[in-house]
Amino acid sequence: MKIKKVEMQRKLVHMVFGVLTVLLIKFGLIGATHIFFLVIFSIIISFLIKRYRMPLIHFLMANLERDENIKSFPAKGLIFYLIGIFLVLSFFPLDIAMSSILVLAFADSIGHLFGIRFGKIPHLFVSKKSVEGWIAGLIAGFLAAFVLVPWYEALAASFFAMLVEGIEIKIGADELDDNLIIPLVAASAIWVIRILL
């Protein structure tokens, strides 16, 4: 199956944004407070672009946002991505938080793109996803987290993040965004491993 241009662009931005965020955190240039204000700013922009035409923002939405979100919830992915980052920075040690951000950046993106392009075996829980994408995401998340934490923590983070990524979790009629779930689960997995070992 061919990957849509907007999906490729979204996932590349997803990865680059994650890496840049981790680098800025690592060098002490940003922290949870900065991310919190980015969340607020993003929510305000999301409301404004539904009412007003903002040329640069509209260009970004046209090239990076899924069609179903443009009118209903513009910048949804970004907002939940930032909330996920804020939560892990607020509740976990820095190395765990940064590792979980990298799992979010790479596991979700690589798994999605690989699954669209090469997926043949349907995922057990979600028909839109594939086993091949799940495995690719698991490997990508593991390698990304392994940059900052030991291999067994990286493996746990990636495995459990991809496990929940493959399940549609709903609150009422709305599905919970995986940009929020993945970093929290990845960080929790590392934290539990540290407690047990």
Instruction: Quote the domain boundaries for residue 47.
Output: 5-196
Q: How far apart are CA 70 and CA 141, in angstroms?
A: 28
Count how many domains the chain has.
Answer: 1
The confidence score (pLDDT) of residue 133 equals 85
Distance in angstroms (rounded) separating the CA atoms of residues 25 and 88: 12
Q: What is the pLDDT of residues 24-76, one digit of tens each?
A: 999 999 999 999 999 999 999 888 887 777 777 777 776 666 666 666 677 88
What local confidence, expressed as pLDDT, does residue 115 receive? 81
Q: What is the distance between the alpha carbons of residues 197 and 191, in angstroms, rounded to a whole number?
A: 10
Per-residue confidence (pLDDT) for residue 69, from 0 to 100: 62
What span, in angstroms and rounded, lies between the C-alpha atoms of 166 and 123? 8
Enter the DSSP assignment of 4.
P
pLDDT at 105: 96
DSSP H or E stretch at residue 3: none
The predicted pLDDT at position 28 comes to 95
What is the rounded distance in angstroms from the CA atom of residue 4 to the CA atom of residue 172?
30
pTM: 0.88
The pLDDT of residue 107: 93
Token couple for 172: 């009422």
Q: Which residues of the chain have pLDDT under 50?
A: none
How much is the pLDDT for 127?
Answer: 60
